[in-house]
Amino acid sequence: MSLFLSCCRLACGQEADTDKFLRGVTNYSQERFAAAGEIFSGLHRDFPADDAVSYYLGLTEFALGQVDSSEAHLRLAVSQDSTNIWYWEALASLYSSKGERSSFAAICEKLLELNPSQYNNPYTLTVVGDEMMNRRADAKALEYYDRALELDPDYAPAELGRLEILRFQGNFPPFFLTLDHFVRNDLVRDDIKSQYIGALMERMDSRFYWVWGEQLNKLADICVKQAPDDPGANLNKLRLTIIENKQDSIIYMCGRLAEAARKAGDKENLVLALSTAGDMSWQLGDRREAYRFYDEALEVDPDCTAVLNNYAYYLSEEGRLLRKALKMSRRAIALEPDNATYLDTCGWILHLLGRPKEAKPLFKHAMIYGGKDSSVILEHYSEILEALGERDLSIYYGSLAEQKKSQGL
């Protein structure tokens, strides 16, 4: 229709220009964009108020990669005829290609208004809902998400948007109802489900878990049942098991996570599973098993600083294999030179080896990077200073250690 109307306007005593317009359209449709661009540029100079010319010039420029000029001429076409859906659609395509989500959503909102029968669909409604959420118009965003879900209850992008609005609002009863449906939705990838629950767990505090922990555990169980080989699902369940301090279950879940991570080639979660199993085995008094897990973890990642440090520290606690412990500890601080805990471990091992003079600089460095907040590190430093005959400083750091102990640090 826009082409017909434009030709009518051009035909009023301007037959040659009508022919020129049609040649431009033909060139455009046959992908001879440079030739089309020359024609429409000339027509635009002669007929700057013609919306169809502005539109086709914008389309041609877009095809030629002249995005800024294309945007200017498509916006001009829209301003010249704001009822033409083709113009709005072309502008929407341009913003989508540029990744300008906000501008794209604004055009989608206009298309919903102009042609609801065509654009009242879950995708368009969700795009507009996302933009409303970005503007912090939460009530309006929720309205669009609900409209999308009325059309398709399993449309995951709308569910995710709805979940975020309800979470922002702290409206958790409907939040968990929606999350339950989302987790059970077979159309949603397993890793997306576990990523969302994992992100929720990272944001939660103890009060949230006290109220909603049972529901969260049920959802984590569903994810593991649906996708037993998904590392993310097993990691979430492991984290929840650690929160509840179910010690035997922790080692079991470490095994589940390790198995899933091996199958997926997920080195990071494999090391995490093995190191956590090692830590828990040590706490349960099974030192041999703890060291076995640590050895496995270091086979996967020889530079895992947490494993290097913990392995070294536990060996120092037993007073055995101190040279092996020192080697691991030195590797840990080479990788993280400003980690006060790792500096403490290395310094303490040197002290146990009868080398307090070498240990002192490590503790001085640790004091700069948080060591003064730990009663254990302060106590160790006090003993080092005592061994070096620096009694006054030893007493000072010993008193600081007692203060931190009284504060539970």
pLDDT of residue 15: 42
Residue 4: pLDDT over 90: no
- C-alpha distances (whole Å) from 127 to each of 25, 118, 120, 150, 183 are 32, 15, 11, 15, 22
Q: How confident is the model at residue 409 (pLDDT cuts 50, 70, 90)?
A: low
Residue range 114-135: mean pLDDT, rounded: 92
Q: Phi-psi region for residue 408, left (φ > 0), alpha (ψ -120 to 50) or beta?
A: left
pTM for the complete prediction? 0.79
pLDDT of residue 230: 97
Please provide the DSSP assignment of 86-108 as one string: HHHHHHHHHHHHHT-HHHHHHHH
Percentage of the chain surpassing pLDDT 90? 86
Residue whose tokens read 């790792």: 342
Q: How far apart are CA 236 and CA 201, in angstroms?
A: 8
Sequence-distant (6+) residues with CB within 8 A of 71 are 58, 91, 94
pLDDT of residue 247: 83
- C-alpha distances (whole Å) from 87 to each of 24, 30, 176, 223, 256 are 17, 20, 42, 45, 55
Q: How far apart are CA 53 and CA 389, in angstroms?
A: 91
Reported as a single tens digit per residue, the pLDDT across 397-407 is 999 999 988 88
Q: Which CATH number fits domain 1-120: 3.40.50.2000, 3.60.20.10, 1.10.1060.10, 1.25.40.10?
A: 1.25.40.10
pLDDT of residue 14: 44
Residue from 56, 50, 10, 8 nearest 35 by CA: 56
Q: CA quadruple 189, 195, 198, 204: dihedral positive or negative?
A: negative
Residue 135: pLDDT over 70: yes
Residue 6: pLDDT over 90: no
Residue range 138-164: mean pLDDT, rounded: 95
> 6 or 316, which is more confident?
316
Residue range 151-156: mean pLDDT, rounded: 96
DSSP secondary-structure letter at 344?
Answer: H
Q: How far apart are CA 388 and CA 382, in angstroms?
A: 10
Domain spans in the chain, listed from the N-terminal domain onward: 1-120
Q: How far apart are CA 269 and CA 177, in angstroms?
A: 30
Tally of CB atoms within 10 A around 364:
14
Q: How far apart are CA 282 and CA 314, in angstroms?
A: 8
Whether residue 112 contacts residue 125, with contact meaning beta carbons closer than 8 Å, is answered with yes
pLDDT of residue 9: 45
Residue range 128-149: mean pLDDT, rounded: 94
Residue 10: pLDDT over 60: no
Q: How far apart are CA 93 and CA 100, in angstroms?
A: 10
Binning the chain into helix, strand and coil, the percentages to the nearest 5 are 80, 0, 20
Q: How far apart are CA 159 and CA 177, in angstroms?
A: 11
Sequence-distant (6+) residues with CB within 8 A of 377 are 340, 341, 344, 363, 366, 371
Q: How confident is the model at residue 161 (pLDDT cuts 50, 70, 90)?
A: very high
Reported as a single tens digit per residue, the pLDDT across 164-217 is 999 999 999 999 999 999 999 999 999 999 999 999 999 999 899 999 999 999
Q: How far apart are CA 74 and CA 80, in angstroms?
A: 10
Q: How far apart are CA 150 and CA 198, in angstroms?
A: 28
How far, rounded to the nearest angstrom, does the alpha carbon of residue 345 sit from its chain's CA centroid?
33
Whether residue 233 contacts residue 194, with contact meaning beta carbons closer than 8 Å, is answered with yes
